[in-house]
Amino acid sequence: MSAEKKDYLLVDENGQGKPDKPWIFRTYAGHTNAKASNELYRKNLSKGQTGLSIAFDLPTQCGYSSDHEVSRPEIGKVGVPINSLEDFRILFDQIPIEEMNTSMTINGTSMWLLSLYVALAEERGLPLEKLNGTTQNDLIKEYLARGTYIYPPKESMKIIVDMYEYCLHNIPKWNPSNICSYHLQEAGATPVQELSFALATAIAVLDAIKERNCFTADEFEQCVGRISFFVNAGIRFVEEMCKMRAFTEMWEEITKERYGVKTAKYRVFRYGVQVNSLGLTEEQPENNAWRILIESLGVTLSRNARCRALQLPAWNEALSLPRPWDQQWSLRLQQVLAYETDLLEYPDIFEGSKVIESKVKALKEEAKLEIQKIVDMGGALVAIENGYMKSQLVKSQTERLSKINSNELVIVGKNKWTDGIKSPLMTDSDGGIFKVDPKSAEQTLNVLAEAKTRRNADLAKKSIEDLKQAAKDGKNLMPFSIACAKALVTTGEWADALREVYGEYNPPTGVDGQKLFLSDDKVSTVRGKVEAFTKANGHRPKIVVGKPGLDGHSNGAEMIAVSAKHSGFDVIYSGIRLSPEEIVQSAVEENANVIGLSILSGSHKEIVKQLFDELTHYKAKIPVVIGGIIPESDFEELKKMGIREIFTPKDYDLMSIMEKIIDIVSVEPALV
């Protein structure tokens, strides 16, 4: 044993060199159906993945069973469909859930999914204390950015508090919610907004728990210790690292000062990360590999603010769903970083750095002001309902896009150094992308139909009625949900029961009053064409921006709405989760000159077909354009169906998009 103390080494109590344990390696995964996802998980675990991160499909997230009419185009597309306990039995077949750290990225229906997990554990005879993991359950980011909310803010918060109360007493190692700022960055949040909105959300959760007054002082401390965070790390990795340090320090301060938490370990900022996929490009997609590596450094380099769990997107995520090989490549990056390099052998390497410290300080100061603003407003829930946070995000996003458009923000391969050799990674027979077999939904539907016939119908009905009554009485819903799970109640039935009592929420779109900061030649060209149209037709061109289906990623739709207004269009934008029927009805009643659809979930073919059927019903010939993550291999089919123009992430130049649209509108025979 060396007597000399080396500041640069991490040692155990005996002075022996002892590197940190690596973070949990996860892959956000799930697709097709429970059976296919189960196979995928088992393969990933055998490759050295150390935790599960379950991606659910959109119907499951929005509280619809697969046999609901809106589910059809989405089954198994962006995650695994879960209809009842039967699907969980298949999903976790041969996986020891008592040894897993399972993260479920689900919000509106998180109580339901946790109930299914509990029911599965009890069926397997496992003590609940052994269950370890996280349900995301952060509704605020859903209202702001991702769109898979169901109930109004107050009721959603009540469900979250129910879960804290239940988990602390029954599943103490479970994180009932996970404050997620990930999607805020995807929606354009600056580091200050990510800090302040996430922390204001955590404050809202803790305040609601305090208000319920269901814990002793000690239990409340433990409860604070259960709050975890899920963040995003972008490409400006030094700033991102400082953001993580600011998070850590601010959480320590908030828990100590606002909530009087005495035990140090319950004040620790615990977080998982998925690094940013917003910045990934469809152009020269192989460059994304480097972006992902650099973004990982932002959350791993700094020992005082290192992530607890990490998941990386795949290099080709801007194109479509990644294939198993692509996910394996991402996992290998983590393993190289953790096991090959010396990263985990050192104490915090930035301690004492003037640059880092002053940057952290600056971020903290700005974020504190913003948090104060939200708290003064009445807290995060109020700032959601009055549209404040949403409009701030849309503003940041328009600023960011304006900068990309004006080349002030360089994106390699997109607006600079755009010429390159085509990637040989894309030349595989599958074109380098993954597609869900449309027939696989049948399997899910069969399992669902069978579960419904096999269950005790009276018991299922009674447990649903009990759940409704409990909701009306304001009781903790967890035990009633678990009873539903055991009675083979379906996801849609569970969500509908609460919809009936709580209602559904329709948040502000955030686009009112937004401005783009673009004023170059292209803008005047487009405005010129819009003026010419107006002169020829006697009124401004009108666009209906439609966001159909359950896919709630509305950034694209919002940016098009704002750009169209900037160009001089009259814009009708009514937010997310509209049916093709509703979109066409708007376009018909408003006599729109063009419909612009935004679809990112891969369901474009099904939805476009429904839309044209509806246009035929009204005998309306309104041109339709579409934007989203749409593989080139689908272009021809979409055009054949009648789509006039297709925009993908490659088309980042807003005014070029608007120019194409006004050109289409201008050559159409005038409809009035």
Partner 1 sequence: MAPLLFDTKESLSQLVSEALLGEKYPIAKLISKIETENNLEFREFLFQELILQNPNAKEGLTIGITGTPGAGKSSLLGELCKLFLDFAPDKKMAIVAIDPSSNVSGGSILGDRTRVTLPRRDNRIYFRSQPSQLELGGLNPYTYHVIRFLRRVFDYVFVETVGIGQNEISVSLISDLSFLVMQPLGGDQVQFMKSGIMEVPEAFIINKCDEESLANSSYYMLESTLEFIKDILPDQSLPPIFKTSVTKRKGIEELLSYILQYQKRKDKNTETLTQLTQWIRNEYGRWGISIWEKLESSQWNQAVKRNPLGGIHKLKYEEEERKFVSLIQTKIK
564 in contact with partner 1 (CB under 8 A): yes
Q: Minimum CB separation from partner 1 for residue 109, in Å?
A: 22
Catalytic residue among 158, 547, 565, 566: 547
- Applying CB under 8 A, which of residues 567, 598, 603, 610 lies at the interface with partner 1? 567
574 in contact with partner 1 (CB under 8 A): yes
Max Cα-Cα span within the chain: 90
Range in contact with partner 1 (rule: CB under 8 A) among 76-84, 278-286, 342-350, 570-578:
570-578
Burial class (CB in 10 A: 0-12, 13-18, 19+), 318: buried
Q: Minimum CB separation from partner 1 for residue 141, in Å?
A: 20
The answer to whether the beta carbons of residues 157 and 212 sit under 8 Å apart is: no
CA distance 139 to 180: 9
Range in contact with partner 1 (rule: CB under 8 A) among 228-236, 250-258, 416-424, 611-619:
611-619
CB proximity list for 177: less than 8 A, separation 6 or greater: 110, 135, 136, 137, 138, 160, 163, 164, 205, 227
The residues facing 380 across adjacent strands are none
Q: Which of 277, 279, 285, 318 is nearest to 629 (CA)?
A: 318
CA distance 30 to 497: 27
Catalytic residue among 551, 565, 573, 652: 551
DSSP conformational letter for 626: E
For the question of residue 182 being annotated catalytic, the response is yes
Q: Minimum CB separation from partner 1 for residue 68, in Å?
A: 16
190 in contact with partner 1 (CB under 8 A): no
243 in contact with partner 1 (CB under 8 A): no
Characterize the bridge pairing of strands 594-599 and 542-546: parallel
Compute CA distances 236 → 240, 294, 338, 381, whole Å. Answer: 6, 9, 21, 30
- Applying CB under 8 A, which of residues 503, 635, 639, 650 lies at the interface with partner 1? 503
Catalytic residue among 31, 77, 141, 183: 183
579 in contact with partner 1 (CB under 8 A): yes
CA distance 548 to 554: 10
Q: Which of 24, 212, 185, 44 is nearest to 101 (CA)?
A: 24
The answer to whether the beta carbons of residues 178 and 139 sit under 8 Å apart is: no
Q: SS3 for 433? A: coil
Residue 120: both structure tokens together: 């599965």
Query: In this complex, which beta carbon is closest to partner 1, that of residue 31 or of residue 158?
Result: 158
Catalytic residue among 529, 542, 553, 566: 553
Catalytic residue among 117, 149, 182, 266: 182
Residue type, 163: M
- Applying CB under 8 A, which of residues 6, 42, 515, 639 lies at the interface with partner 1? 515
Range in contact with partner 1 (rule: CB under 8 A) among 53-61, 115-123, 448-456, 560-568:
560-568
Q: Minimum CB separation from partner 1 for residue 614, in Å?
A: 9
Query: In this complex, which beta carbon is closest to partner 1, that of residue 192 or of residue 662?
Result: 662
For the question of residue 183 being annotated catalytic, the response is yes
Per-residue mark of binding to partner 1, 289-308 (x: CB under 8 A): --------------------
For the question of residue 618 being annotated catalytic, the response is no
- Applying CB under 8 A, which of residues 46, 352, 536, 640 lies at the interface with partner 1? 536
Range in contact with partner 1 (rule: CB under 8 A) among 237-245, 289-297, 333-341, 612-620:
612-620
**How many residues at the interface with partner 1, by CB under 8 A?**
49
Q: Minimum CB separation from partner 1 for residue 380, in Å?
A: 19
Range in contact with partner 1 (rule: CB under 8 A) among 253-261, 420-428, 455-463, 616-624:
616-624
Of 625-654, binders to partner 1 (CB under 8 A) are none
Query: In this complex, which beta carbon is closest to partner 1, that of residue 227 or of residue 381?
Result: 381
Q: How many CA atoms lie within 13 A of 517 on its CB side?
A: 14
Per-residue mark of binding to partner 1, 539-558 (x: CB under 8 A): xx------------------
Helix axes 324-335, 34-46, angle to 10 degrees: 30
570 in contact with partner 1 (CB under 8 A): yes
CB proximity list for 91: less than 8 A, separation 6 or greater: 34, 37, 38, 41, 54, 80, 82
CA distance 617 to 411: 44
474 in contact with partner 1 (CB under 8 A): no
Q: Minimum CB separation from partner 1 for residue 139, in Å?
A: 17
| Residue whose tokens read 């004023």 | 519
Burial class (CB in 10 A: 0-12, 13-18, 19+), 373: middle
For the question of residue 573 being annotated catalytic, the response is no
Helix axes 555-567, 654-667, angle to 10 degrees: 60
30 in contact with partner 1 (CB under 8 A): no
Query: In this complex, which beta carbon is closest to partner 1, that of residue 337 or of residue 584?
Result: 584
The answer to whether the beta carbons of residues 629 and 281 sit under 8 Å apart is: no
- Applying CB under 8 A, which of residues 512, 634, 653, 663 lies at the interface with partner 1? 512
586 in contact with partner 1 (CB under 8 A): yes
660 in contact with partner 1 (CB under 8 A): no
CB proximity list for 259: less than 8 A, separation 6 or greater: 206, 210, 220, 224
Q: Minimum CB separation from partner 1 for residue 407, in Å?
A: 22
Query: In this complex, which beta carbon is closest to partner 1, that of residue 353 or of residue 616?
Result: 616
Q: Tell me phi and psi for residue 157, to 5 degrees.
A: -65, -35
Under the rule (CB under 8 A), what is the footprint of partner 1? 152, 503, 506, 508-509, 511-515, 527, 530, 534, 536-540, 561-562, 564-575, 579, 581-582, 585-586, 588-591, 617-620, 669-672
Catalytic residues: 28, 182-183, 547, 551, 553
